[in-house]
Structure 1
Amino acid sequence: FTALSPIHELKAEYVGMTSVSLTWVVNDTASSSYTYRIEVVNGTSVRNLTSNVTKVEITELLPKTLYNFTVFAVVNDDETEGEGVSISLYTKPSPIHELKAEYVGAEKVNLTWVVNDTASSSYTYRIEVVNGTSVRNLTSNVTKVEITELLPGTMYNFMVFAVAADGQTEGEGVPISPYTKPSPIHELKAEYVGAEKVNLTWVVNDTASNPYTYRIEVVNGNSVRNLMSDVTKVEITDLIPGIQYNFTVFAVAADGQTEGEGVPISLYTRKSQLLAALFLVDILLCSSGLSLTVQGLKHNTSLTCAVVNGTSVRNLTSNVTKVEITELLPGTMYNFMVFAVAADGQTAGEGVSISLYT
């Protein structure tokens, strides 16, 4: 036989973790009688395969390993070979394992993962960051990455690929899709404070806040309950009059689980309306003025007494259920308004009034 022409257009039709499929073209008119020897080299390891057609599947390869494949055309006597044509490539790395979000913040996520391949010391990693139509790629030389410049309260799709030493051959990507934390709410305030009810309002600035819900934690001593709201306000009922409550509001992302940092507000509910439980008794005129005594107050209640005469208004306070009001004018009508005041010294119940002449 005359010398055989080399094969042409040798290429890898498929590259996997443990197998590679090669194809090629032969132009010789006598090629119908050809067979092909495929030399597989990895370091000092050499093995040979044969094929009767212009393609071959090579199996039992190591993931993420550089192989050199050389294909020779062979005539029927199995002794005459054409010049070999080579291709060098990496098998794909194995997929990473145990991908998890080690930290999730409002604008940052830290991912970690594990790689089991023996060749993993030379791996790099591509991290694909997808939010809607926005796609960007990061790289890491270690099995973790910090992803910054994210939007609060937004779902991201992160895909991590192990990359072989050629910087091109990638393993199968492994995905994780967490939500970033919402930003804390702003301007939390009590729009209304009653004896058994409080209305809270707040503001949210996140662009992704449209699908947010809100968890409101209501704490009184050891008693804790949670309410939910779909809007930036809530009415909290079934409260105890004159008691301090701690309310904390958390913005919750659309997954119903990822919460932003809570924002607290502490306040006292108002005392119950005095009219139902308190009575002004023992109105005593004396040389020094007027004495008012109130019944029906709890031990932790103080009093404020407003003394009104025309446009003149003054306020007195008392820690007991009576007050002596002095420096009054004889024969003059006064309006006295008594308010029960909670332990914060500010939150007052509805006043009860009495008008009389000295």
Structure 2
Amino acid sequence: MGKLCLKEKMFLLISSLVLMCSAAEREYFRHDWRNLTWAEARNHCQVCFKELVTVTPENIKTISQNLTSDSWVGLRKNFSSTDNSSMSWSRWADGEPLIFQNWYPGWPVFKSSSAKTFCSCNCPETTTTSFTSFTESTNPDVMNFTSFTESTNPDVMNFTSFTESTNPHVTSFSGPGEDATATDTSSFTADVTDQNGTGYTGPWEFNQNPRPTTAAPAMAECVRSPMLSPDDPETTTNYIEDSCVAMLSFGAWVEKNCAELLPFICYEDRFCGQASVTNTTPESATITWLPGPGDIDLYRVEVTVDGELKQFKTNNLTYDLVNLAAGTHYSVQVFAVKCSRDLNPQDTAFYTTPNKVENLIVTDVTETSVSLSWNEPAGNVTFYLIEVQGGEQIQSSTTGKEIGSLTPGNLYTFTVLSAVGDGSILSEGTDVTTYTKPGKVSDLKVSDNTMDSLLLQWQRPEGNTTRFRVIAMTDSNRVVFNQSVDQTAVKVTPLPMGTKITLSVTALTPSNTLEGDKVTVADYTAPGPISNLTLETTFDSLTATWMSAGTALSFIVELRLDGELVRTIRNLNEPRKRFDGLKAAANYTVIVFTFSGHVKGAPVGRSNVTRLLPPTDAKRISSDKRQITFQWTAPKDGAKVSYSVRIHASFWGHGYSAVVGSQTSHTFDDLTSGTKYTFEVRSEAYGQSSAPAVVSHCTDPEEREVSLSMLCSSAESLLCDKKDTRSAVFTQLEEHFKELLGDNIFWKLEKVAGTQEA
């Protein structure tokens, strides 16, 4: 069941008060200590209360209880000595009709010329239909009196004329005419049929109401008083011309002279009112109340707070309370003071408006919650009410609260109010506005990798977001891209090629003041092609080197022979690879694939032939003075090669060369006899030549003798004749020829036999 608002509570309270007031009881006030005439007593009751008491069967027991003396009540024979328009004892002082009598036997006393039997009854009289006024009525159910004159005798009503009603239900009406006594109801008869068809024939009594009224039937037993003669002196003695009713201590009524001094009984309807509060602020309030009945001396306002009572007096129906404490409960009673007597108080209670909270801030924000904090205001606070944009209300007993179940990335305004009591009294609100943290994007992926760009795509998060921040960084934390976009796909460029790139996407609020948790993904730009691929070969190895651009590169190198894959080297991190154990004179192709992460670059290939193996076992197999025949052995790898041969004589400075195909021997002609020739044979293939196989040999010499004569001269006598000197000269000559001819041609230095050593 929902809470009632303040307006509904006030309505229920006022409704309850109306019901209570409608059922309010009368209060009776005996004045046993003060004796006044009936008129004085009535005047006092009218001033300080409402009226002299009206006695009914319902209140007679209450009124007579503990009554110690005769006391005036609100019944008088005639309220005005000149008032002959009404019958005696017909109404109470407050105007209510006399429907109940409780006369002491023998009362009231009538002045009459004939003996009468009086019936003193303690119950209402027999049902009669009466008129209470004599104004002309347009109602066809009522008889129309055109005129009447009042008699100077108050007990007699004089009718000069009347007309009978045209209502068919009133068949006839008759009366004595002038000088008829009002108490002699038998003098007037009527034959009436009401609208329901119920007939009535009998006495008709005239009062102030032109419509006939029916009193309740008498339920009590009538008691007859003794018959009195018109000349009875006791009757004359007890008759009071201006009489008023006094109640005996046991409740019966008697007549007394209205000028007699007696105690009296007043009555007043219990005063029922309700004070209200308006213009409530933290420091003041205005109290308003209903006016008390009659002449009120003043109003006393009693304010109670924390057991302390303060009183204020005023003659107004409002009072402004000031210097109050904020958020504090005050109880108020307003007493109408009448004749120095407090009437029933008019009650109300209220809270002053609490002060608003201060320094409201947001302390933490998540995707689905916001934490608030504030300072407690001066004065009293029962609790705090937090209103969330959208209508939700949350209570808090502390100066901080986490508000959950919110939508990510949504703008919220939070209003914090101080509350007192049941929360119907609230302070002014203090507002703070903030976004919840946006959610995280999902399904972040990279595609379309090129050498300088990446295509980044993602899905929007739950909740609200309008823009996204995209950042791209290298492994060295260098930011190469930073942009705010409103779509869920962006081409990230320019980027360095062949590089590992870490990309992050963060959802933003419209103000860009609050970011969600970033989501990252790592990928690679495509590598560029390698350059300067070089192949260095030997007869059984190949070394490939190249150049590349990028920081996150790896290589796959393939070695192929005549188109067939021979080897694959993966995850190579340096731009160099040596292949060993290859075939000589084979045409190898090296293909280099560049990878940046998982992104494969364009392949680059180059071919080269391994070095040729030289022929072996080169040797002379025959020679003469003009030719030499050489022979050699083919390389062991069996490669298909041809051979080039060359012969050279260093002494003469000439040589011969030839390509001899695949044969393994060759004869050189037209050579010079006695000359040393150096022979070289090389393997030839793919435009390459192997290292030579070398061997030297001399053609057969054609010997000739050359004589040399030498003349020795010396400064010393007989020096040339010495043997040692001759040997030394020969040795020098021999060394000279060795240096000049060496072993390049055939020569020999000999002494001629029989010559003198001179």
Give the Å deviation of 1:177: 2.1
Give the Å deviation of 1:199: 2.0
Query: Could you say what secondary structure the match of 1:177 adopts?
Result: strand
Q: Write the letter of the residue equivalent to 1:104.
A: V
2:113 paired residue number = none
Aligned length: 341
1:2 paired residue number = 48
1:279 paired residue number = 532
The answer to whether the aligner puts 1:234 opposite 2:495 as a matched pair is no
1:86-133 CA-partner distances (Å, limit 9, x unpaired): 21122122111122222211112222221132434xx212222223xx
1:20 paired residue number = 285
The answer to whether the aligner puts 1:350 opposite 2:609 as a matched pair is no
Q: 2:383 aligns with which of 120, 124, 135?
A: 124
Identity of aligned residues (%): 24
Give the Å deviation of 1:55: 2.6
2:593 paired residue number = 339
Structure 1 313/109 Cα, relative in aligned 2: closer, same or farther at 3 Å?
A: farther
Q: 1:38 aligns with which of 293, 301, 319?
A: 301
Indicate conservation of the 8 Å contact 2:532/2:547, yes or no: yes
Measure the CA separation in 1 of the matches of 2:564 and 2:341: 123
Give the Å deviation of 1:348: 4.1
Q: Write the letter of the residue equivalent to 1:255.
A: S
Structure 1 313/58 Cα, relative in aligned 2: closer, same or farther at 3 Å?
A: farther
2:508 paired residue number = 252
- Normalised to the residue count of structure 2, the TM-score between the two structures is 0.40
1:156 paired residue number = 412
Indicate conservation of the 8 Å contact 1:8/1:24, yes or no: yes
Measure the CA separation in 2 of the matches of 1:247 and 1:351: 28
- Normalised to the residue count of structure 1, the TM-score between the two structures is 0.79
2:750 paired residue number = none
1:10-50 CA-partner distances (Å, limit 9, x unpaired): 2222322111122233264x56x765332222124333344
Structure 1 13/323 Cα, relative in aligned 2: closer, same or farther at 3 Å?
A: same
Indicate conservation of the 8 Å contact 2:328/2:379, yes or no: no
Measure the CA separation in 2 of the matches of 1:299 and 1:155: 44
2:36 paired residue number = none
The answer to whether the aligner puts 1:305 opposite 2:561 as a matched pair is no
Measure the CA separation in 2 of the matches of 1:142 and 1:301: 60
Q: Write the letter of the residue equivalent to 2:455.
A: N
Query: Could you say what secondary structure the match of 1:138 adopts?
Result: strand
Give the Å deviation of 1:260: 1.3
Measure the CA separation in 2 of the matches of 1:300 and 1:213: 31
2:89 paired residue number = none
Matching of residues 78-157 of structure 1 within 5 Å: 79=340, 81-120=342-381, 123-131=382-390, 135-157=391-413
Indicate conservation of the 8 Å contact 1:3/1:82, yes or no: no
Measure the CA separation in 1 of the matches of 2:548 and 2:450: 20
1:137-165 CA-partner distances (Å, limit 9, x unpaired): 22222122222222211122222222214
1:200-236 CA-partner distances (Å, limit 9, x unpaired): 1111241x34x42111233333434632110112222
Q: 1:187 aligns with which of 412, 427, 443?
A: 443
Measure the CA separation in 2 of the matches of 1:299 and 1:115: 60
Query: Could you say what secondary structure the match of 1:193 adopts?
Result: coil
The answer to whether the aligner puts 1:212 opposite 2:477 as a matched pair is no
Q: Write the letter of the residue equivalent to 2:594.
A: A
Structure 1 310/36 Cα, relative in aligned 2: closer, same or farther at 3 Å?
A: farther
Give the Å deviation of 1:245: 3.0
Matching of residues 156-175 of structure 1 within 5 Å: 156-175=412-431
Measure the CA separation in 2 of the matches of 1:299 and 1:214: 29
Bigger fraction of residues in strand:
1
1:234-275 CA-partner distances (Å, limit 9, x unpaired): 22223223333332211112332222111122333333343x
Matching of residues 68-79 of structure 1 within 5 Å: 68-74=331-337, 79=340
Structure 1 314/71 Cα, relative in aligned 2: closer, same or farther at 3 Å?
A: farther
* Greater gyration radius: 2
1:176 paired residue number = 432
Indicate conservation of the 8 Å contact 1:3/1:81, yes or no: no
Give the Å deviation of 1:172: 1.9
2:635 paired residue number = none
Report which structure shows greater RCO (CA 8 Å, sep ≥6): 1
Q: 2:545 aligns with which of 293, 306, 312?
A: 293
Measure the CA separation in 1 of the matches of 2:375 and 2:408: 27
Query: Could you say what secondary structure the match of 1:87 adopts?
Result: strand
Measure the CA separation in 1 of the matches of 2:522 and 2:432: 38
Give the Å deviation of 1:167: 4.0
Answer with 15-24 or 4-13: which moved more: 4-13
2:109 paired residue number = none
Compute the RMSD of aligned alpha carbons.
Answer: 3.6
2:330 paired residue number = 67
Indicate conservation of the 8 Å contact 1:7/1:72, yes or no: no
Indicate conservation of the 8 Å contact 2:273/2:290, yes or no: yes
User: Please, which runs of 5 or more residues in structure 1 have no aligned partner?
Assistant: none
The answer to whether the aligner puts 1:197 opposite 2:243 as a matched pair is no
Give the Å deviation of 1:71: 1.8
Measure the CA separation in 2 of the matches of 1:242 and 1:185: 27
Indicate conservation of the 8 Å contact 2:354/2:379, yes or no: no
Measure the CA separation in 1 of the matches of 2:607 and 2:320: 105
Measure the CA separation in 2 of the matches of 1:216 and 1:9: 69
Structure 1 82/354 Cα, relative in aligned 2: closer, same or farther at 3 Å?
A: same
Query: Could you say what secondary structure the match of 1:178 adopts?
Result: strand
Measure the CA separation in 2 of the matches of 1:34 and 1:231: 81
User: Please, which runs of 5 or more residues in structure 2 have no aligned partner?
Assistant: 1-46, 51-269, 610-685, 687-758
Query: Could you say what secondary structure the match of 2:445 adopts?
Result: strand
Q: Write the letter of the residue equivalent to 1:189.
A: K
Indicate conservation of the 8 Å contact 2:558/2:565, yes or no: no
Indicate conservation of the 8 Å contact 2:541/2:578, yes or no: yes
2:478 paired residue number = 223
Measure the CA separation in 2 of the matches of 1:141 and 1:61: 23
Measure the CA separation in 2 of the matches of 1:331 and 1:340: 29
Give the Å deviation of 1:65: 0.8
Query: Could you say what secondary structure the match of 1:89 adopts?
Result: strand
Query: Could you say what secondary structure the match of 2:343 adopts?
Result: coil
Q: Write the letter of the residue equivalent to 2:489.
A: K
Query: Could you say what secondary structure the match of 1:196 adopts?
Result: coil
Indicate conservation of the 8 Å contact 2:544/2:576, yes or no: yes
